[in-house]
């Protein structure tokens, strides 16, 4: 009840004045749909109300279940869905019927429609295979992959076909009225690390920027997709704003900036909190300078062995920053111990409920009231 009252008060304040601290810009795609532009403006407004919580593959599977309609580990614990729903498009490039984690793409489309209907946010990552070697995203055996997919490269034509397949899926995301559903698209993530074929030591700065810009131009220009907000997302190994922006493709190609950071088993809570807090300071400064949203685009502690992790490590890491959302990774149904959100009976369940009840955290019920897709 207390959280609901605070939410109602914040909505009244939001309609009476604009208290945004970030210089806003319109979508990077100058031809973005009305709904996509409204989403971006709504996300800026929501960032002034609190931090949205997100969960990867929340509707697809969880601990002890897979693919039933309406299920969610977050909802099983709190009675509410997350505000942000992460999904991955890996293997769409091959026109596969399921993604790299065996989630059917037809189910994914249905989930997108459900989330849209209740005013939630969808964000897509893309663990795309290595086109030069035929292996997966993590194949870093060659430093020629990015060059090979750029114009003039030996794999450029094949890469265009992969983008065609991606675009076909993204274009199919429509509601019952035929409206293109706006989503956040987060390609080429964790590029400051060197574990993906587009990573720091696997391609040059110039090649990465060219890859990003070609992807943007091809999807928005060649394929006429105008329901995408683009997210630039580094790894957590950031020491300065200059380093963070080294491979930034430019304001005309990005809508949201963020980074991914996970707590490692051999690191304490204090290390996680301090490092996330430090990097968020860098990222939010860059966001304010460039008029972009900021987010903790991936995070978590595998297995969540600490019963108070949510309120003593996760929340303290971000509470002093203006960010759009913080998303934790998936709860694998077929990989014991590989989970990042609690479920009924999990050791951190009660602490997560405390985190949920904070007036500054936003879940689906609050986001529905905020109506981020309404034009103002």
Q: Which residue has the higher pLDDT, 265 or 294?
A: 294
The answer to whether the CB of 324 falls within 8 A of the CB of 293 is yes
Tell me how far apart the alpha carbons of residues 296 and 233 are, in angstroms, rounded to a whole number: 9
Q: What is the structure's pLDDT at 23?
A: 53
Domain that holds residue 237: 2-16+36-370
Average pLDDT over residues 124-151: 98
Count of alpha carbons within 13 Å of 213, Cβ hemisphere only? Answer: 14
Which structure tokens are listed for 310? 């949510």
- Selecting among 49, 190, 207, 366, the annotated active-site residue is 190
237: burial class by Cβ within 10 Å (0-12, 13-18, 19+)? middle
- Short-list 97, 117, 96, CA closest to 107: 97
Inside any domain, residue 24: no
Quick one: which H or E segment has residue 260?
strand 256-263
- Short-list 145, 54, 59, 63, CA closest to 103: 59
Tell me how far apart the alpha carbons of residues 156 and 210 are, in angstroms, rounded to a whole number: 13
0.85 exceeded by the pTM?
yes
Judged by DSSP in three states, 81 sits in coil
Inside any domain, residue 199: yes
| pLDDT tens per residue, range 322-373 | 999 999 999 999 999 999 999 999 999 999 999 999 999 999 999 999 999 9
**DSSP annotation of 180:** B
Tell me how far apart the alpha carbons of residues 74 and 309 are, in angstroms, rounded to a whole number: 16
Q: Residue 22: pLDDT above 70?
A: no
Whole-number percent of the chain with pLDDT over 70: 93
- Rg, the chain, Cα only: 19
| pLDDT tens per residue, range 195-206 | 999 999 999 999
Q: Residue 186: pLDDT above 90?
A: yes
CATH number of the domain residue 256 falls in: 3.20.20.80
335: burial class by Cβ within 10 Å (0-12, 13-18, 19+)? exposed
User: Which residues are 128's β-sheet partners?
Assistant: none
Average pLDDT over residues 40-61: 98
178: burial class by Cβ within 10 Å (0-12, 13-18, 19+)? exposed
Task: Return the residue matching tokens 């505000």.
Answer: 83
Inside any domain, residue 29: no
Inside any domain, residue 67: yes
Active site residue 349: no
Q: Residue 99: pLDDT above 90?
A: yes
Q: What is the structure's pLDDT at 28?
A: 98
- Report DSSP letters for 87-119, one per residue: EE-TTGGGT-SB-TT--BHHHHHHHHHHHHHTT
Inside any domain, residue 26: no
- Selecting among 49, 93, 207, 298, the annotated active-site residue is 298
User: Domain tally for the chain?
Assistant: 1
Inside any domain, residue 31: no
How remote is the C-alpha of 366 from its chain's centroid?
19
Active site residue 207: no
- Short-list 121, 126, 127, 89, CA closest to 108: 89
């Amino acid at each position: 009840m207390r959280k609901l009252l605070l939410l109602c008060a914040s909505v009244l304040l939001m309609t009476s004045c604009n208290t945004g601290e970030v210089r806003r810009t319109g979508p990077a795609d100058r031809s973005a749909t009305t709904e996509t532009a409204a989403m971006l403006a709504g996300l800026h407004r929501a960032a002034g109300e609190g931090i949205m919580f997100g969960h990867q593959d929340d509707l697809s599977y969880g601990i002890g279940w897979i693919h039933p309609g309406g299920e969610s580990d977050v909802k099983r614990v709190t009675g509410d869905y997350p505000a942000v729903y992460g999904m991955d498009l890996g293997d769409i490039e091959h026109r596969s019927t399921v993604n790299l984690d065996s989630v059917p793409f037809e189910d994914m489309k249905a989930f997108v429609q459900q989330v849209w209907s209740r005013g939630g946010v969808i964000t897509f990552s893309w663990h795309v295979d290595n086109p030069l070697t035929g292996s997966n995203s993590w194949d870093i055996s060659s430093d020629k992959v990015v060059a090979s997919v750029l114009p003039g490269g030996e794999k450029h034509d094949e890469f265009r076909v992969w983008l065609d397949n991606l675009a076909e899926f993204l274009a199919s995301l429509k509601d019952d009225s035929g409206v293109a559903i706006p989503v956040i698209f987060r390609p080429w993530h964790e590029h400051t690390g060197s574990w993906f074929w587009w990573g720091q030591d696997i391609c040059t700065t110039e090649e990465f920027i060219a890859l990003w810009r070609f992807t943007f131009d091809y999807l928005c220009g060649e394929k006429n997709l105008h329901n995408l907000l683009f997210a630039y997302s580094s790894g957590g190994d950031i020491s300065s704003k200059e380093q963070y922006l080294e491979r930034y493709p430019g304001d005309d190609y990005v809508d949201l900036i963020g980074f991914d950071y996970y707590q490692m088993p051999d690191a304490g809570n204090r290390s996680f909190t301090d490092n996330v807090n430090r990097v968020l300071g860098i990222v939010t400064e860059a966001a304010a300078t460039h008029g972009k949203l900021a987010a903790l685009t991936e995070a978590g502690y595998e297995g969540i062995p600490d019963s108070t992790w949510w309120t003593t490590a996760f929340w303290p890491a971000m509470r002093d920053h203006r960010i759009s959302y913080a998303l934790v990774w998936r709860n694998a149904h077929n990989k014991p111990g590989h989970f990042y959100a609690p479920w009924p009976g999990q050791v951190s369940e009660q602490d997560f409920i405390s985190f949920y009840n904070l007036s500054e955290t936003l879940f689906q019920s609050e986001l529905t009231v905020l109506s981020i897709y309404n034009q103002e």
